[in-house]
Structure formats: C-alpha cells, structure tokens
Amino acid sequence: MTSVYLETYGCTLNQSESEELTHKLKGHRVVESTEDAQVLVLNTCMVIGTTEKKILRRIDILYQQLGERTLIITGCMAGPFGDRLSALYPALKTMRISGVASYIDAHFSRTATSAPRPSITAKVKIAQGCGGRCSYCIVKLIRGPLKSRSIEAISRDVERSVQNGAKQIFLTAQDGGVYGLDQGYRLPDLVETLCEIEHDFKLRVGMMNVSSILDIAEDLLKAFKHPRIYRFVHLPVQSGSDRILELMERGHTVFDFKHIVSSFRHELRDVTVSTDFIVGFPSETAEDFRATVDLLREVTPLKVNITRFSRREGTAAFFLKPVIGRVQKDRSRMLTAEHHRVARQRNREYIGESYRALAVEKGKNGSTMLYNDNYRPIVVPRELPLGLFYAVRITGVTSTYLIGCLN
C-alpha cells in the first residue's frame, strides 16, 4: 500500500476535484502528514498572485526535502505553468488531476480495497472552465472554455455521496450560472433534477456571476424554493462603480446586481447573500471606492470575500497601471472593517430566533458548528453527533457566525 499526501489550494472546485481524487485512490492510504507519505500531491491555484507565491514557496520546500519520494503538481499550475515548473524542478511531475490516480496506480503498489472516510459534506463538480471574459482573470487561460458535466453524471455523484453518508452537497464550478450553456440546458434544470433524489440532505449552489443568471433568474428563483436547497446565493459584484465594472468587463452593472439580490430577497425568506469585492483595480479612484463601500452598506451581504487586485500575466488588465500597494491595503482594511460592522449589526436581528440546523463539524473547545436552512453558521458550545438536524435558538452573535443553544 502506498501512502499519499494531498494538499489543496483555491476554490471549492479544486476541493471537489481533490475529494474525487481521494475516492479514486482505492488501495492507497491517504495520510495527513508529508512525513508519512511516499507520494506528495499538490492541487494548486493561480487565480491570485499571493496564493501563487505561497504555493511556489511550498513547492520549493517540499522539493528540497523530497529524497526518494515523488512530488506531483496538479490543478491550475499544471496547465500553462507546468513547463516552467518542470524546468525549475526536473524531478517533479505535472499532470491534470484526472490522471493522478492512474499514474499512482501504474507506478506504486496498492492493496485490493480501501474505503474513503465518510464525510458530512461532499463537493460535486458540475462544470469547469469559464464563459466570461473578465479583463483581470486568469481562469479561462488555465482552465479553458466552459465544459459542463451531464445532469446524469452529476446526479450519480450526488446519489453516491448521500448513500455514503453526506448530508450536504456543494455544487461547484468556476461559474455555476453558465452551467449547461454548452450542452443545451441550464442550471435550474440541474437543480430541479437533484431535488428529486430521495434522501434527507441539503444542496448548496455555488458561485454564480450576475451576468450569467440575468436571463434565468426567474427559473432559478423557482428552483431555489425547494426545501432541499440552502437559501444562500453567492453573487460576486466586485465593485460598486459601474466605471470599474466596465473596465473589468464583468458584463453587469451595479443595478443588475441590486436587482437580482432584491428579487431573491423578495421571493426567499431571509436568504443569505454572499458577494466578492476587488479593491485597488487599476484607475480605481477614491470616489469609485466610496461607491463600493456604499453598495456594501446598502445591500448588507452577510458573507463577503475581499481581495486586492492582482496582476496576472496574460490578462488584459496586466498592462494597466495598478493602484499603489499602500492604497490597496488601506482600502482592503477599510472595507473589511465595514463589512464586519454591517454583518454584526445584521446578525443581531437573529437573536431569539429558532431554526432547524445541520451539525456539520466539530468546533473549538468542545463546540459544534451547525448550518440552518439559510446556510448561516451557528456555533453551539457543546459536542453534538454530526450529520443530524437539531432545533437551535440563537442567543448571541459575532460578525461571522451566530451562537445558539438547543431548544
């Protein structure tokens, strides 16, 4: 039996591909430490420059300590960047993640059977690649054009996961909103089909770009009303300035974003809204940034991802003059602080409310993390068996999660 260490960076799509790889490594032992491994696999990300630098440092450290072991680089860096890595580190292997398990099978010994550990959460890939053309984004260069998986294949994966004990399924893609455009169907068709599976589980639909769902918003809202779907919508807006959005080539306006959010909130009780912002995009002025802060205050999303603009080679924005680093950092800190203020204020509205919530993972100091039907994280300060639903009453809040007790 060969011991394999797997380290994953990046989005939930990368995480879902690593989970799929783990299932394929039957007959091998997936270990928690590099010291115990004969094969080291890094599933990499290149979307943000700081993440790329972090991974390169990690590769360098592992390579210096490699000895007789094998180091495999997969994910984003195994694409266009693979040849550069091979030149720097001749002994490492670069390959697409779909080929990693077969490579290990062919070059290393394995036992007859090996069962992966059951998980409460399963991440299921519905598509890869992108249908957009954002001026700053490297995803299309490293992942290629949109390639949607069939509804039948996805249904089989979801069915297998819930039969193996999964209680929540995350549907992952670079942009779930364009799912099926290359196959002749759309995301609502998939969601409605998956809701017909006869098991007690929850579905979380992943990130959807605003421009991708403008034409299917009505059908999507109908699909989201099924009790199996988490009332959670992740819509990256990136900026509160239409001028910056046009430079980003996002394909939507601030009005489009607010209209979609308003529609979801009108149709779905207390839906949790998540969004993303990029600060410091080239030519972003103080006025543009104020528009972003104003949008945050107006829409009051409960979950926000904030990143500083990162120049990526091969993109149109690479040639634009960036906002100086100090200003980027200041704006990131200001927007983060405002988000925490807004979220804490919104979360206080939940105190005294009761919810049905799924126990998903163990927390710190003997606590348990649960999620309600709106995908709001709730910390209960006691150990609970995972994978079960509980009645929980909210007694306190932070800016990022609710605090509750069992009813």
pLDDT at residue number 322: 85
Spatial CB neighbours of 266, under 8 Å, sequence gap ≥ 6: none
Which DSSP category does 398 fall into? -
Helix (H, G, I), strand (E, B) or coil at 35: helix
pLDDT at residue number 132: 82
User: 39 has which bridge partners?
Assistant: 4, 70
* Short-list 86, 33, 35, CA closest to 59: 86
pLDDT at residue number 117: 61
Q: What angle do CA 292, 244, 253 make, to 5 degrees?
A: 75
Phi-psi region of 151 (alpha: psi -120 to 50; beta: other; left: phi over 0): alpha
Structure-token pair, residue 239 = 């900026």
pLDDT at residue number 129: 86
Q: pLDDT tens for residues 74-91?
A: 998 887 778 888 889 999
Q: pLDDT tens for residues 88-127?
A: 999 999 999 989 999 999 988 776 555 556 689 999 999 9
Q: Cα torsion for 146, 152, 156, 162, to the nearest 10°?
A: 90
pLDDT at residue number 54: 93
pLDDT at residue number 152: 97
Q: How much is the CA Rg of the chain, to the nearest whole Å?
A: 22
Which DSSP category does 145 fall into? B
CA dist 405 → 270, 372, 374, 390, 391 (Å): 21, 13, 18, 10, 9
Q: What angle do CA 278, 53, 400 make, to 5 degrees?
A: 45
Please check whether residue 80 is in contact with residue 49, taking contact to mean a CB–CB distance below 8 angstroms.
no
DSSP codes joined into one string, 94-111: E--GGGHHHHHHHHS---
Please check whether residue 168 is in contact with residue 358, taking contact to mean a CB–CB distance below 8 angstroms.
yes
Q: pLDDT tens for residues 204-227?
A: 999 999 999 999 999 999 999 999
Just give the CATH number of 3-107: 3.40.50.12160
pLDDT at residue number 403: 98
**Largest Cα–Cα distance in the chain?**
63
Q: pLDDT tens for residues 310-336?
A: 988 888 999 998 899 999 999 999 999
Domain 121-348, architecture per CATH? Alpha-Beta Horseshoe (3.80)
Q: Would you list the domain boundaries of the chain?
A: 3-107, 121-348, 351-406
pLDDT at residue number 115: 55
pLDDT at residue number 113: 53
pLDDT at residue number 114: 54
Please check whether residue 280 is in contact with residue 308, taking contact to mean a CB–CB distance below 8 angstroms.
yes
CATH 2.40.50.140 fits 351-406, yes or no: yes
Please check whether residue 38 is in contact with residue 5, taking contact to mean a CB–CB distance below 8 angstroms.
no
pLDDT at residue number 13: 85
What averages of pLDDT result for each successive group of 10 residues across the chain (407 residues)?
A: 90 87 88 92 89 92 92 88 87 92 88 64 92 85 88 96 94 95 95 94 96 96 95 98 97 98 94 97 97 98 95 89 93 98 96 96 95 97 96 97 96
Helix (H, G, I), strand (E, B) or coil at 18: helix
